[in-house]
Amino acid sequence: MRHGIHPETRPVVFRDRAAGADFLIPSTATSARTVVWEDGNTYPLVEVETSSASHPFYTGTARIMDTAGRVEAFERRYGRRAG
């Protein structure tokens, strides 16, 4: 790995606006806003709209597509062809 070409990685707090959850993870993101974390240290704060705390796929509220119902509706509408 070449030195001097990679951005600095440091701990950053990401706040999910939808769920109100905070995550402290290493990142290269920068922000003028800061927040005091649970350990008493101050970290940059980046607010995001969606994270794993509020995304339907990760929270289990995602809708499941009913493919069998679609096939049955197609067959009712157009009928089955004799093969």
Extract the tokens encoding 51: 């994270």
The ranges assigned to domains in the chain are 10-78
pLDDT digits (tens, 9 = 90+) for 2-16: 888 988 899 999 988
pLDDT digits (tens, 9 = 90+) for 30-41: 899 999 999 999
Q: What pairs with residue 48 in β-bridges?
A: 16
- This prediction has a pTM of 0.62
Q: Are 48 and 16 in contact (CB under 8 A)?
A: yes
Mean pLDDT, rounded, for 17-45: 91
